[in-house]
Structure 1
């Protein structure tokens, strides 16, 4: 995919050995088949890269199990869209507040971020150009990217509806109905999509994570969420009694608190405030 984007000049400096074979640090290493920010490593020097290769038996010929690429610095976003290769439908941008490196878990997501702005226009055009360069026609696309000092840089392209509570946010905040669209696809019917987007509010959700290993005993404070504005709602991701066996990855996620508002910014304020009233008890 990155080689194809390189041909169209859409990939920036994302070659792991750009500029005549010289590594440009920092780099990031992640399992090729990994998910949920598991086993992510930041590599800052040539010495650390040599140590990583040695400890993981990852010579240049054997790095098929790992992706090593530039560590782009800047805020992370995702573009939510749909294209069949002929028509392109842009739902909006989801922003992210991330945990502090070297952990890379998503703490807050808000949709539709910066809608109706020149910045969103540029992000939409860039996303469309990336999908066109790839000849993408698989329908739903969840395109994650980072805005660096030099511009947008692709992180990954997922050929699916957006995860977490992003797709419910699209359905709640716009006149697009992703669920009806995917049913049309499954039935082989023409996918009915409005020609123009209408935004009708904002949606945000905050993820709560375990900070110690053990068994999930309870989540305190959920009964008091109705005291906050924005219709805050608790969405558990684990059942009581679940064993927490990892920290710093999506597997440590206990659940999400969502909130709505007339604007995405207000929804984010409300979701954060409501989420701070909850506490996770691990034994």
Structure 2
């Protein structure tokens, strides 16, 4: 296909959205980024947006589907597809696509993913295995939730594990719920849904199922093992493709993911379905209505050869995204965490690059940058990617390389932290 124009309504900052833009450019298509604040993509402590990944930036209120539709519909080069990889803009993208008459996601299904309480209710009604949960409007309601201790308290509609915390008793629940309820806008300035979820703490190992859905056909592309920081916060610091699963467990995970998508009415788009492998089988953590971030899609391509970025473009343009492929390698990413404070220096990057099986090492910050201690999915200094004969070998190689990187920092007043 030639003469194609693809517009992106914002994107994420952890790789996958940038990669979709790159694929579109490699195909010779016109790429437009619609954003309300381009400087958002230039902040330190994150993967930087590739300036050659798009042809044009259009400034617009990306939270207003009517405004975006008006801007794009008036162009002589009206887009052939509108998509996003930004968690915060999936709903606006779906609604704008409907206004423009473009192929895209069902806004109701996207809302069921973004509003975690709505998604929980729909999944519970459909018999999807989920944790016990309570929607609470006040700290007192949260503290009274009967889900057992410890329990997980989380916001209804954020991303990157922001605000997700393990609480040991009613007072901790009330305190954290109060803090969340006072947090009324997210990092991109959008109003947050009122309320918090209090959930049963699921013991087990977390994985994710990477999915492409088109014309109601679910294609399970890959499964990903995750490494999280120890509670009380839940923050992913590494991923491996493929997940090391017994065939029966893998089959149960596929079935749970498909069941959850069906319950939400999710019949189009990419999905990143997070599951906890508990002693009673896989249980749903949440369904994300987008490609996985954290370069998981890159790991999928390294491990299997399947390009989920290309597949996403294909389905938005009505073409076949192709069949999943079996992994022939293992691929892993491990992030360099932020220790918090002013960065004085980062050493050992060249040593990390020279280590066996390492295919990429990157850092996001320069000396002088002031960053918070890691608390969620954007507070990082860089990453290592490794490829090996299988997932565990790749993960071990990436972890060893991260261990070679040394970060020198100095403490700064809390008021100076970003």
Q: Please report how far the alpha carbon of residue 49 of structure 1 lies from its aligned counterpart in structure 2 after TM superposition.
A: 3.5
Q: Kindly tell me: are residues 150 and 189 of structure 1, through their superposed partners in 2, closer, same or farther at Cα, counting changes over 3 Å?
A: same
Is the partner of 1:225 in helix, strand or coil? helix
Which residue is 1:282 aligned to? 409
Cα gap change, 1:212 to 1:90, in 2 (>3 Å): same
**Superposition deviation, residue 128 in structure 1:** 1.4
Matched, 1:32 2:123: no
Partner of 2:341: 213
Structure 1 stretches of 4+ moved >3 Å: 46-58, 237-241
Deviations 1:115-147 (Å, cap 9, x if unpaired)? Answer: 673322221122112212222112210011211
- The DSSP-based 3-state class of the residue aligned with 2:194 is helix
> Against the structure 1 CA distance between its residues 253 and 86, is the aligned structure 2 distance closer, same or farther, given a 3 Å change threshold?
same
Aligned residues of 2:147 and 2:199 also touching (Cα < 8 A): no
Q: 1:227 to 1:240 in 2, by over 3 A?
A: same
| Structure 1: stretches of 5+ with no match in the other structure | none
Q: Aligned partners of 2:395, 2:180: CA distance in 1, in Å?
A: 40
Match of 2:311 among 181, 186, 193: 181
C-alpha separation between the residues in 1 aligned to 2:230 and 2:223?
22
Q: What is the alpha-carbon distance in structure 2 between the residues aligned to residue 41 and residue 86 of structure 1?
A: 35
For residues 60-96 of structure 1, the C-alpha deviation after alignment (integer angstroms, 9 at most, x for no partner) is xxx9242222222221111111112532211121111
- The DSSP-based 3-state class of the residue aligned with 2:339 is coil
TM-score under structure 1 length normalisation: 0.86
Conserved 8 A contact 2:358-2:387: yes
Deviations, residues 250-270 of structure 1 (Å, cap 9, x unaligned): 342111111001111111111
How far 1:112 moved relative to its partner? 0.8
Shift in Å at residue 239 of structure 1? 4.2
| Secondary structure at the counterpart of residue 271 of structure 1 | helix
The answer as to 2:342 corresponding to 1:242 is no
Is the 1:94–1:113 contact (alpha carbons within 8 Å) kept by the matching residues of 2?
yes
CA gap 1:184/1:50 in 2 versus in 1, 3 angstroms: closer
Aligned runs of 1:16-165 on 2, under 5 Å? Answer: 16=134, 22-52=146-176, 64-114=194-244, 117-165=247-295
Q: Secondary structure at the match of 1:153?
A: strand
TM-score, normalised by the number of residues in structure 2: 0.60
Number of matched residues?
Answer: 273
Deviation (angstroms), 1:23: 3.7
Matched, 1:191 2:320: yes
Q: CA deviation at 1:166?
A: 0.5
Distance in 2, Cα, partners of 1:178 & 1:217: 38
User: Is the contact between residue 205 and residue 259 of structure 1 (CA under 8 Å) also seen in structure 2?
Assistant: yes
- Tell me, which stretches of 5 or more residues in structure 2 are unaligned? 1-118, 136-144, 183-192, 411-418
Matching of residue 9 in structure 1 with residue 127 in structure 2 = yes
Aligned residue for 2:329?
201
Q: CA 1:79–1:144 in 2, change beyond 3 Å: closer, same or farther? A: same
Q: Which piece of structure 1 moves more, 80-89 or 238-247?
A: 238-247
Question: What secondary structure is seen at the aligned counterpart in 2 of 1:213?
Answer: strand
Structure 1 residues 55 and 116, CA gap change in structure 2 (3 angstroms): closer
Shift of 1:246: 4.1
C-alpha distance 96-87 of structure 1, shift in aligned 2 (>3 A): same
CA RMSD, 1 decimal: 2.4
CA distance in 2: counterparts of 1:209 and 1:158, whole angstroms: 24
1:202–1:264: 8 Å Cα contact kept in structure 2?
yes
